Structure 1
Amino acid sequence: MSVDYSVQGSVAVLTVDNPPVNALGYGVRDGLKTGIEKAVGDSQVKSVVIIGKGRTFPAGADIREFGKPSREPWLTTNGQLIETSSKPVVAAIHGTCLGGGLEIALFCHYRIALPFAKVGFPEVALGLIPGAGGTQRLSRLTGLPVAMEMIYSGRHVPINKAKEYGIIDEIVTGDLLKAALEFAQSIQGRPFKDRCLKFKAVPGADRVEEYASAAMSQVKKKYKGYEAPMACVQAVRASAELSYEEGMKFEREVFGQLLESGQARAQQYAFFAERAVTRWQMPGGSYKTAKPLPVRSTAVIGGGTMGSGIAVCLLSAGLPVYLLEQNEKFLQSGVNMVKNIMAGSAKLGKISMETAKKAATLLKPTLSYEDLRDVDLVIEAVYENLDLKREVFSKLDKVCKKSAILCTNTSTIDIDRISTATSRPESVVGTHFFAPAYHMKLLENIYGTRTSPNAVATVMKLGKTINKVPVLVKSCHGFLANRMNAPFGSEAIFLVEEGASPQEVDQANEDFGMPIGPFKVRDLSGIDISWRINREVAKAMGTTITKETRFLGGNRYCGLNDDFYDRGRYGRKTGKGWYRYEKVGGKIPVVDTESQEIIQSYRERRGIVKRKITPQEIHERQFYSCINEGFRILDEGICNTPEEIDISWIYGFSFPKYRGGPMFYASQIGLQKVYQRICHYHQTCPYSIHWVPNRLLKKLAENNVPFSEWANHVSKSRM
């Protein structure tokens, strides 16, 4: 049974037992219905307790039922039975009380909880709103502003805050069941109709227009392009403007519309994809067989922007970190960056003051490799130069204990070219963080031909420990994320070369849902960085880049970035790049006359006649070239599933989650259309290798293979 029924004295106890999170699947819903009916009909019973077994109160819907026909009893059926019960019902909450679990609790007449419990409505993350009364009932306890924010943000609310909001009646300590039984006995014989939320008025209903406008303003600012957060505000607004029954009907209608929307499908796909990427596999091992090594102490080589950000990630997870630099000046700069980031995070409430203070004691600045002798894991974060990285790894190999995992934060260099500098290539693995490392969620882990499964298991577990989303890929130049980003970025600059303006390209990207356009990104990361990377690529190819370079490695090359570099326009750091900024380090981009002159001068030098480029062409050339490369990556076995690509782009480049990632997005457009447009651009852009149509894409498009079967075809194509 998913719900155990027992009677202790005069209290009926309904214990939800559906591990791991007591999700509200059919068995639980049916068990609650049976239990409530049984308790109401039992003359011995005077009050009822609903509690969860194991580590949590019901934490929402059963994800195993997603996409399947729902069965009675619905959650609202349970809720109505609870609320209309002739005997008071108490929700005893521990762990997380989320989504449908919180809706069940709100149907109960009383709610008590342990101090470390949390409540919330996370449905918005799946492109939905609460669908069993949550938008109509929460506001009757908390008032409109709190209910709107809680539901549109999906945040988990600590129990002390929940009590302050009026959601929780009492915080208890010790044995929850014992406390619940005592509480349930204490309320027996009291009138409790006034505890039924459906009869309560919404506080501040006369100011609903003001509250809704303020909430909608925040939603448009924080969740641009997302439908569900706006629907959350509208549904909570209805609780103040309609009767309870009409509000419930409105909620169900909105829920149904969202459920059928493309955004909900994409966000639910992303939800499952994020869990799927944890089930990694590689030659010789997988998440099932490999054993992660313990990581109790760490080191970071390089205290620059990336290295200090990585150090913050480790310190925030409570791991001791040696931060190593080549001289005292650079070391102090790195330490200051770490301290400033930690202080800023604490000020914004992203970490607690206790965590920030503890981190200060865990950071160990050093100039000596000898101090790294006993660390369990090292992450190298020097700039992208193969010779320098090999020098670092050679030193680490001589100093670090044999069991230590040696990681590189390289963004493009083949792991095998680095690991050969050591006598232990099986312990060398890539851990590619994305800037800013303390903020971006993706951790792209990369295995070489000799990397051991245990080393991979260690960094995959580390990713979870430091609150990242780890994705495993096979080593090659550029790996997964940056390899796909290369044509995406190249097409952006080709489009400007041919006639578009940087702001037109940026606007097309932002209209699609990217947080900022590619030229604003270039100004943020630094034009000098991309200039240096281009030189490293050319060096690896045994050539150099000049003013006349038009092809690099047989592929089309645009030198516009070089012209901006030559003018000292490095981006925000110099106050000017593709845009001009109000000051050095400024954030607000302004269209700049000098930038336009540099672009036009470049065109004239190359004999390029400016042409009109539509937003549709901008969109197709950037995103379809990226998709084509994604299929090539799948075809070559760099990763195993389209989910790994999509999660990499969602968390590495902020691809809009409501579109599901580039591969899922391609499936929604239709592979035949995508393939046809790629063929078109292959004809019109013949000097760009990334437009050569991929054979796997061609096969899937011609056979009209549904997205759910792509992985099977990928496996067969490699046999």
Structure 2
Amino acid sequence: MQYAGQAVSVRDAGDGLYEVVFDLAGDSVNKFNQATLAELRDAVAALQGSDGVQGVLFSSAKDVFIVGADITEFTQMFERSEDEIVAGLLEMNQVFNSIEDLPYPTVTAINGVALGGGFELCLATDYRVASTVAKVGLPEVKLGIYPGWGGTVRLSRLLGVDNANEWVCGGAEHKAVAALKAGAVDAVVDPAQLRDAGLDLLRNCIAGKFDYRARRLEKQSAIRLNQVEQMMAFESAKGVIGAQAGPHYPAPMAALKTMQKHAGLTRDAAQAVEARGFAKLAKTEVCRALIGLFMKDQQVKKTGRKHAAGAAPVQQAAVLGAGIMGGGVAYQSASRGVPILMKDINEKALQLGLDEATKLLGGQLKRGRLDAAGVAKTLTMIRPTLSFGDIANVDLVVEAVVENVKVKQAVLAETEQHLKDGAILASNTSTISITELATALKKPENFCGMHFFNPVHKMPLVEVIRGEKTSDAAVARTVAYAQTLGKTPIVVNDCPGFLVNRVLFPYFGGFSLLLRDGGDFRRIDKVMEGFGWPMGPAYLLDVVGIDTAHHADAVMAAGFPDRMTHEGENAIDRLYSLERFGQKNARGFYAYAPDRRGKLKKAPDETVTAALSGVVGAAREFSDEEIIERMMIPLCIETVRCLEDNIVASAADADMGLIYGIGFPPFRGGALYYLDQMGLANFCAMAAKYADLGPLYQPTTRMQQMAERGATYYG
């Protein structure tokens, strides 16, 4: 028999064996859209109706197996009622069940990424053979849902309850060797041997060497634990998973409860339980926000690829300034295979940068992500130097010296003299105008901003800032380099603070006003963390550094005097004057001391009340709602201003910048999505309550016009 579609085909592999091959036309990856699913259904029906078939291998003609379901179609599906969603899921389950019920053995050859629905298909076959480069997993909880095509059912019976809980509720990707150890795949082979290994496994099943029917029955039966064992396994996991997920992300706990509920059921009944729980999650606001977030992330990455189109790769980089930030940039570049010079003016600074890179590599070694040879190889890609001698060979230089206009201009001008034609010079400034810095350069067209966030190895965002004279070529190569480093670059136009810091400092301004009016910074932190921020504003200021914040506050006030200046001394000014710089010197709003692992731990500081005397008003109790409103209104309005002023090109750029740059609560979708969900009319009415607090709380004219006509930022 033969079957050929636009995404699925069936080929004769000889000796009664057939191969179902996924190869979605017109796309670089395979994914389960409606067309692919329909073709899979037809292909399986053709197999069912054919004589002489003895075994089937499922494989991919692309570098990946199947990346999962087409997320763009999810939003359409999730607009339906719960009952309609359940019916759709059970219909899809019938396709996978028909594969599992074929009267002969089935094997999947996983050549690359198999995630979500792609891995659920793998689980429906009797055996799974993976390439050494393959990765598998069920990441659905990251979208506010859980696996809905039999994944929670089959995995909990294949891996056992404990492993399945970790895989489903954690949503992580797993390398082939780890998947083999857990029991999610049955063999791992070199890529060149994958297809032959899959076909050989089928032949061994046909010959009776492997009992595929027993494996199949295990997936279709109830979990082999008695009621007491089930209760202990699931109940013991709830505390851990609940703590990891937190109160704002319901999917991991819902997945756990679903697996517990269907543990004693056979396949079809268990899938019905899975589908009902999935449908409930699909209708939540968290799910809607997280799926929207995924789509915005894809849009931002697509825009980044357009910016980088045609750019020559950076073969050799350099970083000027070997502090913590410079060392972080050097580590990131070297670990991604791009050799980098690390230049400073003294040996002590160079050693600090090397120590930072060595520490980060030590962490990779400890976690088993690198071996000793890998650590050594990466370190050899970082070359410390005190001179400009080798800088003539580099393609791109990142300046990361002290945040001072005159110092930066002097360093940039000197560096420019040593660069080859076409080399890009980029500044890691966090607030200073790129256009202003460029006045010291002879070729400002080759200069742009490249703002990394600290810690470099963890923070995914890089702001690429276009000055007035920055060329498209400079932007393209800088964006391409950021992508090579594994970062998400967002191109922004020049202004004080660019996007992230321009938006962050009105948020800090709202915090200062709350303190002025008698708010307790500890309570404000607690409320804003409850809102979903990873840390409250006082804690965040301590982490950023009070000295850094004080300097940036002055830059922002000079850039936007109408709304970012403040009368008299505020809390940041006071702590700065007292040299309470936060984590840098172990005291700020809080006190800090290293724990047993060497990480700084926050603790109350009894001296801070006296330190803030005179800048914090008479104690006043604010409601949670009032604290949230007073903190969020300035941030949201300034985000809108960045969009209206064309600092960012799209609402998606703005929202992803805040999520990746300052940890805006992902489940809230970003500042502009947050406004859409609230409704601009409601937001403007809320802001009007605080009009006496000044311009930070005044919506723009365009916001008010949009509110009047019911417009939104995402349509």
Given the two structures, how large is their TM-score scaled by the length of structure 2? 0.91
Unaligned ranges ≥5, structure 2: 78-84
Aligned residue identity for 2:331: V
Structure 1 distance, partners of 2:64, 2:278, is: 26
- The yes-or-no answer on 1:170 pairing with 2:187 is yes
C-alpha contact (below 8 Å) 1:141/1:202 kept by paired residues: no
Structure 1 vs Structure 2: percent identity of aligned residues? 31
- The yes-or-no answer on 1:97 pairing with 2:114 is yes
The structure-2 alpha-carbon separation of the partners of 1:346 and 1:698, relative to structure 1 and needing over 3 Å to count, comes to farther
- The yes-or-no answer on 1:517 pairing with 2:536 is yes
Aligned residue identity for 2:12: V
User: In the alignment, what sits opposite 1:447?
Assistant: 466
RMSD over aligned CA atoms reads: 2.4
C-alpha contact (below 8 Å) 1:471/1:644 kept by paired residues: yes
Counterpart mapping for 1:40-79 below 5 A: 40-69=48-77, 74-79=91-96
Structure 2 distance, partners of 1:609, 1:503, is: 15
Structure 2 distance, partners of 1:496, 1:392, is: 39
C-alpha contact (below 8 Å) 1:293/1:455 kept by paired residues: no
SS at match of 1:588: strand
User: In the alignment, what sits opposite 1:5?
Assistant: 10
The structure-2 alpha-carbon separation of the partners of 1:455 and 1:203, relative to structure 1 and needing over 3 Å to count, comes to farther
Displacement, 1:554? 5.2
1:345-387 deviation per Cα after TM superposition (whole angstroms, max 9, x unaligned): 3324565655422211111011112221111111011121110
Counterpart mapping for 1:402-417 below 5 A: 402-417=421-436
Structure 2 distance, partners of 1:583, 1:343, is: 19
The structure-2 alpha-carbon separation of the partners of 1:488 and 1:542, relative to structure 1 and needing over 3 Å to count, comes to closer
C-alpha contact (below 8 Å) 2:317/2:341 kept by paired residues: yes
- The yes-or-no answer on 1:185 pairing with 2:203 is yes
- The yes-or-no answer on 1:219 pairing with 2:241 is yes
User: In the alignment, what sits opposite 1:208?
Assistant: 230
Displacement, 1:556? 4.6
C-alpha contact (below 8 Å) 1:103/1:133 kept by paired residues: yes
Displacement, 1:128? 1.0
Displacement, 1:309? 1.4
C-alpha contact (below 8 Å) 1:95/1:118 kept by paired residues: yes
User: In the alignment, what sits opposite 1:253?
Assistant: 276
1:524-569 deviation per Cα after TM superposition (whole angstroms, max 9, x unaligned): 222222233345567x6899xxxxxxx9975456422222233332
Structure 1 distance, partners of 2:180, 2:565, is: 65
User: In the alignment, what sits opposite 2:660?
Assistant: 651
Unaligned ranges ≥5, structure 1: 544-550, 710-719
The structure-2 alpha-carbon separation of the partners of 1:485 and 1:135, relative to structure 1 and needing over 3 Å to count, comes to same
C-alpha contact (below 8 Å) 2:114/2:135 kept by paired residues: yes
Structure 2 distance, partners of 1:260, 1:266, is: 11
What is the aligned length? 690
Structure 2 distance, partners of 1:684, 1:246, is: 60
Structure 2 distance, partners of 1:541, 1:30, is: 57
Given the two structures, how large is their TM-score scaled by the length of structure 1? 0.91
Aligned residue identity for 1:135: T
Structure 2 distance, partners of 1:445, 1:263, is: 30
Out of 617, 642, 661, which is 2:651 matched to? 642
User: In the alignment, what sits opposite 1:715?
Assistant: none
C-alpha contact (below 8 Å) 2:90/2:271 kept by paired residues: no
Structure 2 distance, partners of 1:542, 1:122, is: 43
Displacement, 1:238? 3.0
The structure-2 alpha-carbon separation of the partners of 1:372 and 1:230, relative to structure 1 and needing over 3 Å to count, comes to same
- The yes-or-no answer on 1:620 pairing with 2:625 is no
C-alpha contact (below 8 Å) 2:334/2:378 kept by paired residues: yes
Structure 2 distance, partners of 1:638, 1:326, is: 35
Out of 624, 642, 654, which is 1:633 matched to? 642
Out of 581, 590, 593, which is 1:579 matched to? 590
User: In the alignment, what sits opposite 1:714?
Assistant: none
User: In the alignment, what sits opposite 1:548?
Assistant: none
The structure-2 alpha-carbon separation of the partners of 1:180 and 1:589, relative to structure 1 and needing over 3 Å to count, comes to closer
SS at match of 1:369: coil
User: In the alignment, what sits opposite 2:517?
Assistant: 498
Structure 1 distance, partners of 2:176, 2:308, is: 39
User: In the alignment, what sits opposite 1:325?
Assistant: 344
Displacement, 1:578? 0.7
Displacement, 1:227? 1.2
1:654-673 deviation per Cα after TM superposition (whole angstroms, max 9, x unaligned): 11211111111111111111
SS at match of 2:714: helix
User: In the alignment, what sits opposite 1:569?
Assistant: 580
C-alpha contact (below 8 Å) 1:29/1:73 kept by paired residues: no
1:597-623 deviation per Cα after TM superposition (whole angstroms, max 9, x unaligned): 2333334xxxx5443222211111111
- The yes-or-no answer on 1:678 pairing with 2:696 is no
C-alpha contact (below 8 Å) 1:75/1:100 kept by paired residues: no
SS at match of 1:370: coil
- The yes-or-no answer on 1:593 pairing with 2:606 is yes
Displacement, 1:708? 2.9
Out of 273, 288, 292, which is 1:265 matched to? 288
C-alpha contact (below 8 Å) 2:545/2:583 kept by paired residues: yes
- The yes-or-no answer on 1:274 pairing with 2:297 is yes
Structure 2 distance, partners of 1:352, 1:516, is: 34
Structure 1 distance, partners of 2:559, 2:532, is: 36
Structure 2 distance, partners of 1:223, 1:652, is: 21
Structure 2 distance, partners of 1:552, 1:663, is: 20
C-alpha contact (below 8 Å) 2:525/2:536 kept by paired residues: yes
User: In the alignment, what sits opposite 2:80?
Assistant: none
